[in-house]
Structures are given as C-alpha cells and as structure tokens.
Amino acid sequence: MPKTTKAKAAATPTRRSPCPVACALDLFGDKWTLLVIRDLVLGRNRFKDFIGSPEGIPTNILSDRLERLLEGGVIRQIPAADGSKRLAYELTDKGLALRPVLRAMRDWGLKWEPGTDAKLEPA
C-alpha cells in the first residue's frame, strides 16, 4: 500500500477503519452516490440530468453527493458543452475506475433480481 503524504492525509476524511472496503463505502457506499456515478458512466453530466433519473433523487441529497464526490476526487466540474454558465461534471480517472464495479452490480442484478432491465450499456 502506498505511503500517504502529510498533506494528503490531512485532506483525507476520518475513516472508520483502514479496510479498503470500508473506505470505499465511506465515499460511495449509499444508493444515491452510486446512482450518480452510474448516470455519469452512462453519459449524463448535468444537475438536471441527475434529477431526471427515474429514481427521483431529492435536490438537497444530490447536491450533497456531488460535493462528496468532488472532495473525494471521483468527479470534477467542467464547463457545460452548451456554453452556458452552468457547470457539468465528469468522472476523473479515479471515478472511471468504478466502471467494472458498476458492470458487476448490473450483471448481478440482471441475473438475480427478477424484473430488472439494463436499458443502456455503460460507456
């Protein structure tokens, strides 16, 4: 495991344990955060896009989860493609590394949860 610099350690939030599974869950281990990451993988990148997802994430929770993902280095803000003053979001390399996790969850759900349907394939 790589050594952490003092600056990086100071920026890292307090963790429950050094377990990598627990640390990952501290960052994206709730249903809303994973759904935002799913939407980003599927090409959605604006606040309004996330709000439009069928799960109906409340705006206050979405704002909180986007901030958590920004602070965790999973996403970054970028200028919107339409040239408006609004910002969009994209996955960083750290966020893109979650694609196999989402694929595995999708595949598990399709196999084991009756009635599930993957309408889009992750990019």
Full pLDDT tens readout for the chain, 123 residues: 444 444 444 445 678 899 999 999 999 999 899 999 999 999 999 999 999 999 999 999 999 999 999 999 999 999 999 988 999 999 999 999 999 999 999 999 999 999 999 876 655
What's the confidence (pLDDT) of residue 105? 94
**SS3 category, 90:** strand
Torsion, CA 123, CA 59, CA 73, CA 38, rounded to 10: -20
d(C-alpha 70, C-alpha 92), whole Å: 10
Which of 83, 81, 72 minimizes the C-alpha distance to 36? Answer: 72
What's the confidence (pLDDT) of residue 16? 85
Largest Cα–Cα separation, the chain: 49
What's the confidence (pLDDT) of residue 15? 80
**SS3 category, 1:** coil
Q: Quick one: fold of 19-112?
A: Arc Repressor Mutant, subunit A (1.10.10)
What's the confidence (pLDDT) of residue 38? 96
What's the confidence (pLDDT) of residue 120? 65
Beta-bridge mates of residue 104 = none
d(C-alpha 53, C-alpha 63), whole Å: 15
What's the confidence (pLDDT) of residue 7? 44
